[in-house]
Structure formats: C-alpha cells, structure tokens
Amino acid sequence: MKGLTIFTQVLLVTLMYAGWFSRSLGIVSSSCRDEDEALSLTLPCIASGSMEMRPSKACCDGIKELVKSMNLQCMCEIFISAGATASPSLLRSYNRRCSLNVPPNFTCRL
C-alpha cells in the first residue's frame, strides 16, 4: 500500500471488512465474483464516507473495470454496501460521466 495515505489505507481495510461482513450477512451476492477486488476498484468513488454523485476520472476508471470484469448488478451491490442508495439518479450520473452504456430499463436490485 505504498503511497496511500493512512486515511486511505484505513478506509480500504474498512471497506474490505465491510465486504466480508456484508457477504457473511448475504448483502453482497454472487453477482460480484471477487468482492474485495470490487471494493478496491470502487475506492476512488468514495468521498466523505459516501459514493460520489459526480464521479471523478479515477472513480470512472475503477467502475469501468468493475463492470467489465464483473457486471452491473455487482456495481449496484457495491454502491449499496458502501452506504449509497442505488437510485436512478446515481445510476444516470455514473452512466453518463463514466460512459457505461447501462441499458435504459436496468434497475439495481438487492
């Protein structure tokens, strides 16, 4: 974890623990092949303890990789496990800013 601030390291460990905890409770399902990887890819999307409404380039890079290597439902589950509401406006924002090509009828389900 060379080069990461202490805060970022603590946040990453916390999110990985949250991933383990949410898996143990069945919150994050099998849509995410590797929940720890999914959480680490979305780390740049977390600001002040919640998902960014206007994702940065670093966030979009992680989200694109997540969707490419896993799927859209996994993205939704990670949003929700990170404390975000996977609302249509959040999906539209990520779809538009990150060029995800989310189908118009897609909705997050948990």
User: Each residue of 42-91: pLDDT tens digit?
Assistant: 888 887 777 888 899 999 999 999 888 888 888 888 777 777 777 778 88
Work out the average pLDDT over 3-19: 55
Where are the chain's structural domains? 6-98
Q: Looking at the DSSP assignment, which residues form a beta bridge with residue 46? A: 51
pTM for the structure as a whole: 0.67
Average pLDDT score over the chain: 75
**25: which DSSP letter?**
T
